[in-house]
Amino acid sequence: MVNIFLSASIPQKERDAKYFETADVIAIRDAVRALATAVIPKAHLYWGGHPSITPLVRDISLQLNKDVASLRAHVTLYQSRFYEKNFPKDNLDFEDVQLIAAGPDKATSDRLMREAMLAGKKFAAGIFIGGMEGVEAEFDMFRERYRNAPVFPVASTGGGAKILFERMTKEQTQPPDPRLLTDYAYLSLLKDLLKPYADL
């Protein structure tokens, strides 16, 4: 089964204005819902738990398959035990939740979780939606480990994804598809972008 990696979050105003000022919350939610709708029936979606994203994936997952146990083959959620006291109740709806041991601080815990999430798998592609510094960090880690896998920063959602799109445009090593900046029909867009790499 094809593996797809998702990195996404909704930027918070109090954290960093450079992410928040371009973020389109409705677009972020729509894009995450579209990706889950496209991927979960036929492929396996991996992502790091974020309280603004996990409920969206949960809702789509349950709409697509009310037998939660059978979702194990299609959905894997990673979480760091550093945040265990604040885990959203939506985590309980996923059978395959990978809990990674906490480090001595937030930064170390985040790094350990990301390393575990990206280790030892064969990803067909990485999708980056909205987000803040965590999306940028996961983008760099993903590209380092999966050099032959395409990356798609959905720039129309703003935040970190827009910054990544601009960075890729400047690099010119893998120019991003311009539709990632302008196309809000996310279900058809993501299916089209992923078609060469996954049978969705």
* Domain layout of the chain by residue ranges: 3-194
Q: What is the pLDDT of residue 59?
A: 82
| Chain segment 119-167, per-residue pLDDT in tens | 989 999 999 999 999 999 999 999 999 999 999 999 999 999 999 999 9
Q: What is the pLDDT of residue 46?
A: 95
Residues in CB range of 158: below 8 A, 6 or more apart: 11, 19, 22, 23, 24, 27, 28, 130
- End-to-end CA distance of the chain, in Å? 11
| pTM for this predicted structure | 0.92
Q: Which two tokens stand for residue 49?
A: 């738990």
Q: What CATH class is the domain 3-194?
A: alpha beta
**What pairs with residue 46 in β-bridges?**
5, 76
Radius of gyration of the chain (CA): 16
Residues in CB range of 78: below 8 A, 6 or more apart: 46, 47, 48, 49, 97, 98, 100, 113, 116, 117
Q: What is the pLDDT of residue 88?
A: 66
- Which residue positions in the chain have pLDDT lower than 70? 65-72, 88, 90-95
Q: Closest Cα to residue 27, out of 175, 174, 189, 142?
A: 189
